[in-house]
Amino acid sequence: MHRRLILYCLFTLKAVLSNISQSPELVKVPLGGTAYLQCDLGHLMTVCDVISWYKLHPRTQQLNKTTAINTETLEEGQCLGVFHNITVRDSGIYYCVVVYTVMMYMGNGSRVIVTEPNRQPTLILQVPQESAGWNVSLQCLVMGVTPSEVHVSWVIRKRVMTGWTESGWTNDSDSALEFTRAHITLPSEKWMDDVQCVVELDDRKFFTSLKTDVCLLSLGLNAAFVIIVVTVVIAVRTCLAKQKSFTVRSHGVASQVRRRNGKRGTHTVEGLCITEVQYASLDLTDTEHHSRTALSQIR
């Protein structure tokens, strides 16, 4: 019994490995466009209506049947899968599958990539908090694009270098986003130099620089220092202006008193007020004395 089961598994594996032909291997379609996938049945005596299309889930690696692809007949044995109004979430690998008698035949797969105009990937350069040992590992995180679309390299001291890359997911939910993470290991004395992470996408290059980040931090600190210095200077000038204004006003009052009485006044407001009261009392006494003298002469 076990021997028969093993022979059946080997025969089934051989049938699956002798795949039906599928093309193209890679299809890039603009958002909202139409993807065309061709499936050649070869020597299978069947029709295109029996074809089913499956999508390989990139995170779980499970094959899920999809009804979004309509199958049309080109000619005998050649079938065409048409995928209309494609969206970003439709990116993935698709397989045409045919069940003939008791066997299942599967195509070699077609990768569909949905492109968006003027896409801007997000680049994050991760550096260690402190270097331990002789070498330091740097990481460059690329998000917003499918890992199969990008090529990541490093530029160290104007020299192009390649590390190793991996792909992952932000979480385990259905809304998880796929990202690319590039790694490179450098000597501890070199990683603080001009390090750039370069990402190539659709014949365009994007980069993030460790030197740029350090310069931005330095500029930020310098700007903060300048703001503090300017604030202190303005405060000091304001205080000096107030003090000067008060001194000039005090001298002005004193000058008016001296011109009116012909005597030296004091430098304080309180002293000036007392002097003015004393002078006013003396003037009043002299006035009363002259009045009495005039009355005596009339009498």
- Residue 108, pLDDT score: 93
Q: Report how far residue 139's alpha carbon sits from residue 136's, in angstroms, rounded to the nearest whole number.
A: 10
Contact criterion met (CB below 8 Å) for 275 and 267: no
Residue 146's domain comprises: 122-211
- Residue 182, pLDDT score: 93
Check whether residue 141 and residue 171 sit in a common domain. Answer: yes
Please name which of 104, 110, 112, 122 lies closest in space to residue 52, comparing C-alpha atoms. Answer: 104
Most confident segment among 109-118, 205-214, 283-292: 109-118
> What is the rounded average pLDDT of the residues 127-148?
80
Check whether residue 8 and residue 90 sit in a common domain. Answer: yes
Most confident segment among 93-107, 118-132, 237-251, 277-291: 93-107
pLDDT, tens only, 180-220: 999 998 887 766 667 889 999 888 899 898 764 443 334 34
- Residue 236, pLDDT score: 63
Work out the mean pLDDT of the chain and round it to a whole number. 73
- Residue 194, pLDDT score: 76
> What is the rounded average pLDDT of the residues 129-140?
76
Check whether residue 102 and residue 49 sit in a common domain. Answer: yes
- The CATH code of the domain that includes 59 is 2.60.40.10
Q: Which of 196, 211, 226 is the last residue of a domain?
A: 211
pLDDT, tens only, 249-261: 444 544 444 444 4
Check whether residue 14 and residue 96 sit in a common domain. Answer: yes
> What is the rounded average pLDDT of the residues 69-94?
91
Structural domain count of the chain: 3
CA dihedral (176, 195, 185, 130) positive or negative:
negative
Q: Report how far residue 152's alpha carbon sits from residue 178's, in angstroms, rounded to the nearest whole number.
A: 15
pLDDT, tens only, 4-53: 444 344 334 444 545 689 999 999 999 999 999 999 988 888 889 999 99
Given a cut of 80, is residue 171 above it in pLDDT? yes
Contact criterion met (CB below 8 Å) for 17 and 10: no
Check whether residue 129 and residue 91 sit in a common domain. Answer: no
- Residue 98, pLDDT score: 92
Amino acid type, 31: L
More confident residue, 1 or 217: 1
Check whether residue 81 and residue 152 sit in a common domain. Answer: no
Q: What is the dihedral of CA 274, 278, 283, 286, to 10 degrees?
A: 180
Q: Which of 78, 96, 115 is the last residue of a domain?
A: 115
Check whether residue 156 and residue 185 sit in a common domain. Answer: yes
Please name which of 113, 62, 122 lies closest in space to residue 89, comparing C-alpha atoms. Answer: 113
More confident residue, 225 or 297: 225
| Model confidence band, residue 235 (pLDDT cutoffs 50, 70, 90) | low
- Residue 64, pLDDT score: 92
Q: Which long-range contacts (CB under 8 A, 24 or more apart) does 71-76 make?
A: 71/39, 72/48, 73/47, 73/48, 74/38
Contact criterion met (CB below 8 Å) for 265 and 258: yes
Check whether residue 130 and residue 200 sit in a common domain. Answer: yes
More confident residue, 261 or 228: 228
Amino acid type, 111: R
Q: For residue 187, list its beta bridge partners.
A: 135
Check whether residue 145 and residue 207 sit in a common domain. Answer: yes
Three-state secondary-structure class, residue 284: helix
Check whether residue 129 and residue 193 sit in a common domain. Answer: yes
Check whether residue 136 and residue 70 sit in a common domain. Answer: no
pTM score, whole prediction: 0.58
Check whether residue 34 and residue 126 sit in a common domain. Answer: no
Given a cut of 70, is residue 275 above it in pLDDT? no
| Model confidence band, residue 284 (pLDDT cutoffs 50, 70, 90) | very low
Q: Which of 115, 139, 164 is the last residue of a domain?
A: 115
Q: What is the dihedral of CA 108, 114, 118, 122, to 10 degrees?
A: -80
